[in-house]
């Protein structure tokens, strides 16, 4: 069975590699984007994408903007998008939830919990 594809969007190469190191051994193929612009492009062009893990504060297009555009007009309704960020403010979490996010993780993340969430969301 083919590995499930996960897109990680973060301007930090360290965080992208951390996510890849956590998910790859659990059978996920990780695709990377450095900001919301590239992330949006990869959401539209990556075949059989099963999950997106996305930072909030990024240059060019932030994670909330990317999320809103990815989910606008009912697009990508079945694609789970989880926010992974330093931000924890309730108003921002509510805004992301309303825009279509299915989860919120405050950095630093625990690898085993990220894997468990990825498995649940792509089951």
Interface residue list for other proteins (CB under 8 A)? 11-15, 17-18, 21, 57-59, 82, 85-91, 93, 97, 101-110, 113-114, 117, 120-121
Do 89 and 108 touch, CB atoms closer than 8 A?
Answer: no
Nearer to other proteins, 44 or 97 (CB): 97
> Least Å distance between CB 91 and other proteins?
8
Q: Is the Cβ of residue 21 or residue 44 nearer to other proteins in the bound state?
A: 21
What's the closest the beta carbon of residue 116 comes to other proteins, in angstroms? 9
Neighbours of 2 (CB within 10 A): 7
The DSSP 8-state label assigned to residue 35 in this structure reads S
The DSSP bridge pattern shows strands 28-33 and 4-9 to be: parallel
Q: How far is the CB of 56 from other proteins (least distance, A)?
A: 9
Nearer to other proteins, 1 or 123 (CB): 123
In the complex, minimum distance from the CB of residue 2 to other proteins, in angstroms, rounded to a whole number: 25
Q: How far apart are CA 83 and CA 53, in angstroms?
A: 6
Q: Is 121 helix (H, G, I), strand (E, B) or coil?
A: helix
- Residue (40 or 63) nearer to other proteins, CB: 63
- Tell me how far apart the alpha carbons of residues 102 and 116 are, in angstroms, rounded to a whole number: 14
């Amino acid at each position: 069975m083919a590995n499930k594809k996960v897109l990680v969007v973060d301007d930090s190469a360290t965080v992208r590699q951390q996510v890849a190191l956590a998910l790859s051994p659990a059978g996920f193929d990780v695709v990377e984007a450095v900001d919301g612009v590239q992330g949006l492009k990869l959401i539209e062009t990556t075949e059989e994408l099963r999950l997106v893990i996305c930072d909030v504060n990024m240059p060019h297009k932030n994670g909330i903007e990317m999320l809103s555009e990815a989910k606008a007009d009912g697009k990508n309704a079945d694609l789970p998008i989880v926010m992974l960020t330093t931000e924890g403010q309730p108003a921002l979490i509510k805004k992301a939830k309303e825009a279509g996010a299915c989860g919120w993780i405050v950095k630093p993340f625990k690898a085993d919990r990220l894997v468990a969430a990825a498995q649940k969301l792509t089951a």
